[in-house]
Amino acid sequence: MKLSLVKDQEKIDFNIYKEGGLAGRSTASLAVGGSDDGLRPMEMFASSLALCTSIDTLHILNKQRVYLDYFEVNITAERVKNKVPAIFKEIILEFVIGEEEHLVKVAKAVNLSINKYCSVRHMIKDEVKIETKIRLKT
């Protein structure tokens, strides 16, 4: 894997490039000179966990010929307070789907991802409590 971060001329903001071109944007908070209009590093990390788990989950479901009409993941992350570095203490991933008949299969696929396949999860497994929830879209 090769990535490049290119700093914006004015702010502490970065465009992120991979070999195929622009891949994303990460920004610092306003307090330290960023524009705060992109993902900050810890937001990017939490979203990476959700992405990793989502890709695994959907791949597992697709192998079972289960195709979801609606799929969303809400991320709630809590960092350790009054400590530097302020690492994550807990991350809750709430998976929202549209089809009640797939709840059990989605739960099993999420469990497989979190406990076996997701590389991001395994990088933090001893440090961060991860909770998953699955619910129907209302």
* 34, 27 contact by CB (below 8 A): yes
Q: Is the dihedral of CA 66, 72, 76, 77 positive or negative?
A: positive
In this predicted structure, what is the pLDDT of residue 97?
Answer: 98
In this predicted structure, what is the pLDDT of residue 9?
Answer: 87
For residue 108, is pLDDT > 90? yes
Question: Would you tell me how many other CB atoms lie within 10 Å of the CB of residue 50?
Answer: 20
pTM, entire model: 0.91
pLDDT digits (tens, 9 = 90+) for 10-37: 899 999 999 989 999 999 999 999 999 9
